[in-house]
Copies of this chain bind each other. A is one copy, B any other.
Amino acid sequence: MNISLQQAEKAITAAKAKAAETGTLMNIAVVDAGANLVAFVRMDNAWLGSVEIAQIKARTARYFDMPTGEIGKLSQPGGPLYNIEHSNRGLITFPGGLPIKDSNGTIIGAIGVSGSTVENDHIVAQAGVDGVYADQ
């Protein structure tokens, strides 16, 4: 199964709403199960450097089927995955990327958010994940 554009747009709508609620300006990207881009938005005046980071976060979360921040715990100096970021034309391993699952728990894509603190990026990404199956 693969995320549809409609589902991706629901994720982005929910993420944008959470960004507005938290007073942040975000770049938001959604990839499908094959890690290919489905949808992207940059809120007005959001960081330009986050255009790519949001996309890489989404890709990284799908590449390893876990939140990006979990990888970052393992890629520190002395950690088991030190410098994994050098692979795959660049990975981002701090929070803000999350897998998206269907109702059976199968991963169908991922979301990546970048534009504020990593804590805020994560909160907005989670809102996007929750939005996929919410009534809107």
A residues near B, CB below 8 A? 4-5, 8-9, 32-44, 47-53, 56, 60, 62-65, 72, 75-78, 80-88, 90-95, 117-118
Contacts and interface: CB of A to CB of B under 8 A. Distances in A.
Given A81-B94, A82-B94, A48 B76 contact: no
Q: How many copies does the complex hold?
A: 4
Nearest to A62: B48
14 contacts: A9-B41, A34-B48, A36-B48, A39-B41, A39-B42, A40-B41, A47-B65, A72-B82, A80-B118, A83-B94, A84-B92, A84-B94, A85-B86, A86-B90
B42 A37 contact: yes
A47 B76 contact: no
A8 B56 CA distance: 22
Given A75-B82, A117-B80, A37 B34 contact: no
Report the 5 A-B pairs with minimum CB-CB distance, sorted nearest first: A34-B34, A49-B63, A40-B40, A86-B90, A83-B85
A42 B35 contact: no
Contacts of A8: 41
Contacts of A50: 63-64
B82 A63 contact: no
A18 to B, nearest CB: 16
Contacts of A118: 80-81
